[in-house]
Amino acid sequence: MTLIQRIGYYLGGFSLGLLLLAFFLSGKKTSCSYGLDARVIKNINTKTIIYSDNAKSIINVKQLDTVVLNHVLRKGDVDFSKSETTTKPCKTYYLDGTFNKQSIALLVKNCDETATIEDIQILD
């Protein structure tokens, strides 16, 4: 068997494997949360989101929509220098993100069953 035939068989099998993998994973909610930010955000989004009284008042005063806050919760970045990750039983994370060119920061208390939005800041 020549080198060209070996490369041809390899590429043929590799492409079939990729097609099968794409077929099996296409309908599922698969994600690769390898980064620390991604794992924290995924963990927060799997829990019930609760708004504190302070957060509710800021939402009413600033006329914010929960769609904006959910976008920041899903696509935002975690600033670990402003977060308190050693507190027990709930860790507090500082998330910041943008929605329609508006910078928003959230202070989220991440407990075992719930994630509570403690504070909302509009950054300009």
Residue 77: CB partners within 8 Å, gap ≥ 6? 37, 95, 96, 97
pTM to 2 decimal places: 0.72
Mean pLDDT of 65-83: 89
Mean pLDDT of 112-122: 91
Domain boundaries, the chain: 1-30, 35-123
Query: What confidence tier does 26 reach under pLDDT thresholds 50, 70, 90?
Result: confident
Averaged pLDDT score across all residues of the chain:
88
Q: Cα(76)–Cα(85) distance, rounded to whole angstroms?
A: 17
Q: What is the pLDDT of residues 34-49, one digit of tens each?
A: 788 888 899 899 999 9
